Structure 1
């Protein structure tokens, strides 16, 4: 990974409508993309991959935790956490996204943003963010994350990135990304370390696959905000490319297997974060 601008702009290599859009991106093309998130909720849920259980287990460790999925979108990551037995609350600014998330069992939902989390001080054991951290206004979001975490809590950041070594995946990405194809990947490490609010940042990578049919590959394309904001004619042109890729690659009835790497970051609140929290309010009790 290479270092990207530590501002709230989304990285060219990672595009997602999974909530938490930065409030500083209120103008220009990013605003249109941010506002497209709710409109693609169904496509996102149908087309986007889940997250590997091993990845979330690495972040959270053993035991039952109170987990906040921040920028939760349709609850892909929250569902994995709930399946592991954790108590999960999903927070996202998009009511449309959360309406899909509410269909999943074992997840509480709240409308809210990373820059103003609607939870009490020191009220959760873990904050996890899947496919959304690069949308946050980090100068405002990181203090909020540190505020709601307990002293021994953990922050986990996850990104699913398609393995572009595979030729058909590279063609799919080029059809979606257009001129942005091949851009640098977002690296959260400098942002975490420069904030002075998190320490002991660790990384890990996990491999997994997503099985797709023709409709699933189209939904995956439609779930990208770059496609969602196109005019209807240009969007159909992109989908024609996607159909062509499927027709020349898939061997029905076997599914087309999209290969992914899940890059994970795990960090603990720093001594400074813990000290600031004690000045703000008492620690909330466990439920």
Structure 2
């Protein structure tokens, strides 16, 4: 995740995923703002998921770090069988309201599924929080040979002045300080996946006054603030809305979705067969 990551919660996290105490607090902050997260955050464009999964239907798809199921819902709408796994019971409670998605409490570092049990693992806005040394072997373990790992991040287009002002408020002194999170070296060093391919898709997220406030509340940097400071940030966000919006028209927040895909390597396939049996297709 990145300070000039317009999405705010995808800035460069430590490679062990957990990081220091402040980083860990941010990682654990989403459950308390699950409703705001679901209302304020954008979905993912279907074209992005089709690029990762292919044009067909009926794959068994694991949405890992699924949160409230924004990405899982897109996969289900495309005709896939989806299970959403997340460590936050609060986030999954929101996810369970969506049709066509099974849910399970669990972590990327210890996935509660059998060896070779899914055709795809997708991760939206969450891979930077993982302990990669533990999570990548688990992802490779549950993927079938020929399966696919897809990583997605929504990043707001801060070239637009009012969008830039919003994220300057949300990210404070950290805004613009580091590059966006790059999964390429982490994936390559694991030897468990083929070289990552990448693509970018453009989309928009419509927000009214309440939606913009919920977007701000859902960001980990804001969620962990003390009440007085958080209220100041939210007041600043509302002031930007006052100076920018033209009700009843919604604010159209522009986003880029950056996507990456890779397949299990031959080493991962060999390691899986040695470690345990392959689960049958359901």
Same fold at TM > 0.5 = yes
SS at match of 1:155: strand
Partner of 1:84: 78
Partner of 1:5: none
CA contact (8 A) 1:227 1:235 kept: yes
Partner of 2:34: 41
Question: What is the Cα deviation at residue 231 of structure 1?
Answer: 1.0
Separation (CA, whole Å) in 2 of partners of 1:35 and 1:82: 26
Partner of 1:232: 227
Separation (CA, whole Å) in 2 of partners of 1:109 and 1:22: 27
Q: Which runs of 5+ in 2 are unaligned?
A: none
Question: What is the Cα deviation at residue 16 of structure 1?
Answer: 3.4
Partner of 1:165: 159
Out of 72, 77, 88, the position equivalent to 1:94 is 88
Q: Which runs of 5+ in 1 are unaligned?
A: 1-9
Partner of 1:57: 50
Q: Does 1:176 align with 2:170?
A: yes
Partner of 2:238: 243
SS at match of 1:198: coil
Partner of 2:189: 194
Partner of 1:253: 248
Q: C-alpha root-mean-square deviation of aligned residues, in Å?
A: 1.6
Q: Alignment length, in residue pairs?
A: 275
CA contact (8 A) 2:64 2:86 kept: yes
Partner of 1:16: 9
Does the C-alpha gap of structure 1 residues 92 and 212 become closer, same or farther in structure 2, counting only changes over 3 Å?
A: same
Separation (CA, whole Å) in 2 of partners of 1:89 and 1:120: 13
Out of 66, 70, 77, the position equivalent to 2:64 is 70
Separation (CA, whole Å) in 2 of partners of 1:175 and 1:101: 29
* TM-score, normalised with respect to structure 2: 0.94
Separation (CA, whole Å) in 1 of partners of 2:109 and 2:198: 24
Question: What is the Cα deviation at residue 30 of structure 1?
Answer: 1.2
Separation (CA, whole Å) in 2 of partners of 1:34 and 1:159: 16
Separation (CA, whole Å) in 2 of partners of 1:58 and 1:86: 14
* TM-score, normalised with respect to structure 1: 0.93
SS at match of 1:57: helix
CA contact (8 A) 2:18 2:130 kept: no
Separation (CA, whole Å) in 1 of partners of 2:195 and 2:228: 48
Partner of 2:134: 140
Question: What is the Cα deviation at residue 283 of structure 1?
Answer: 1.2
